[in-house]
Amino acid sequence: MARQNLPIGTYGAIRIAKNRAGTTIAITRYRGNDGIVRKASRTGRTQSAATINLKAHLAAVLRSEDTGMADQKLPNMVEEWWTEYLETGKPSTGTKRRYRGVIDNHILKKLGGFTVREARTPRINAFLRALLKETSAATAGIAKAILQNVFNYAIRMGAITVNPVDGCAPIKAESVQPKAWTIDEISEMRAKLRKWDAGVDRRGMQRVSDLAEPSDFMLGTGCRPGETFAVRWSDIDFDASPATVRIHATVVKDENFRTIIQEHTKTNRVRVLALPPFLVAMLLHRRMQSTTEVVFPSSTETVRNPDNFRIQWKEALGEGLESFNELPKMFRSSVGSFIALEHGADAARGQLGHSTVTTTENHYIAKVDAAKDLTATFERVIQSGVKMDARAVSATVDGSGSQ
């Protein structure tokens, strides 16, 4: 019967022998990660010492043969995974910047001194809990996702067999209910933005500002700021009935932090939105004066930076308007809420460009306990009850009269 092969990473029975000088030797065979069986031996003053020395040697050999990756520094493994991720994942520019920021500013700073083998579940879990307290659930969640992928890569490379992130506690963000502006708040905001655009700066000079019309566009479409500033005149069809805008791009920052137009949206979905009359009138007037390809350019007629818009928008609205502090989500949740109230959640999903209606319902539709109009049902019940009561009274009267 053929001898059974040793499993990879194990060794066989240890036998004891003596050399010509009478020294005790512990000898065995082991099978490395390359599948090759080799002989190993160590000496000692006694059988027990030789056996212990041999086992220590085998532990070191088999560990180092684990492609050498388990004992390398974690930053090296992160960089190897990052290279693979860029090649195979094809992440968007925004995702690359966000992930790289979390890697450089958090993961490498706090875990960079560990080897892959040392980065065990308790250490990873402690890092994530601390990061959650120091930053946000979003940042901690990204860090956890990155580490999950890094250690999955380490498993593929043969460095480890179990992902230490699997045992970490879940990261849950606080539940935040979607909110929507009221009609009065929207009217107040629009009036303040128009006044700001028409006003003067601290030097008494006419202010170079364009906040009101992009805000109206977001209110009339539910588009994200990045999508709004990526709209070009070629995307608008004034001849359609009603006029439409094609949303297929968004503004992002590239690796060098330059503001550019990315030719796909956050969800890679293209949507064609009908434009309400007040937006069509504004856009036609704007088209007459435009000298740029984009509809809402910056003051220097380049692609507009959404971050700068947010800063200017909050400055224009001033202090004391707490409900205006959640740009851009409040624009979208207000639009989604109004649409859902009139036409249902699926219509809101299509307008906002979400992949699933669950996302729309959970994050973009304000919860209002407005029950369906059942007045007609109640009226029928009451009327039926009145008729039944009338019949009962009639039957009683008839019965008493016959006695």
In the three-class reduction of DSSP (H, G, I as helix; E, B as strand; rest coil), residue 43 is classed as: strand
Residue 140: what pLDDT?
A: 95
* pTM of the predicted structure, to 2 decimals: 0.62
Residue 187 has φ and ψ, to the nearest 5°, of -65, -40
% of the chain surpassing 70 pLDDT:
83
Residue 235: what pLDDT?
A: 95
Residue 388 has φ and ψ, to the nearest 5°, of -65, -40
Computed over every residue of the chain, the mean pLDDT equals: 83
Q: What residue spans in the chain does CATH classification 1.10.150.130 cover?
A: 74-167
Q: What residue spans in the chain does CATH classification 3.30.160 cover?
A: 10-64
Rounded Cα gap, residues 44 and 26, in angstroms: 8
In the three-class reduction of DSSP (H, G, I as helix; E, B as strand; rest coil), residue 354 is classed as: coil
What is the DSSP pairing of strand 244-247 with strand 37-44? unpaired
Q: What are the tens digits of pLDDT across the range 52-83?
A: 999 988 887 776 545 567 778 999 999 999 99
Rounded Cα gap, residues 356 and 245, in angstroms: 22
For the domain 10-64, what is the CATH code? 3.30.160
* For residue 370, pLDDT beyond 50: no
When pLDDT is averaged across residues 108-114 and rounded to a whole number, the result is 94
Fold of 207-363: hpI Integrase; Chain A (1.10.443)
Rounded Cα gap, residues 364 and 334, in angstroms: 8
CATH for 74-167, among 2.30.42.10, 1.10.150.130, 3.40.50.300, 3.60.21.10? 1.10.150.130
Rounded Cα gap, residues 251 and 161, in angstroms: 41
Tokens linked to 261: 């137009």
Q: What residue spans in the chain does CATH classification 1.10.443.10 cover?
A: 207-363
* For residue 99, pLDDT beyond 70: yes
* For residue 400, pLDDT beyond 60: no
Question: Could you tell me which residues come within 8 angstroms of residue 61 by beta carbon, excluding any fewer than 6 positions away?
Answer: 30, 32, 40
When pLDDT is averaged across residues 260-271 and rounded to a whole number, the result is 85
**In which band, very low, low, confident or very high, does the pLDDT at 94 lie, cut at 50, 70 and 90?**
confident
Q: Could you give the residue ranges of the DSSP H alpha helices within 135-200?
A: 137-156, 183-198
Residue position matching structure tokens 């007037």 = 285
Residue 389: what pLDDT?
A: 54
**In which band, very low, low, confident or very high, does the pLDDT at 37 lie, cut at 50, 70 and 90?**
confident
Give kind and range of the element (H or E) at residue 17: strand 15-18
**In which band, very low, low, confident or very high, does the pLDDT at 245 lie, cut at 50, 70 and 90?**
very high
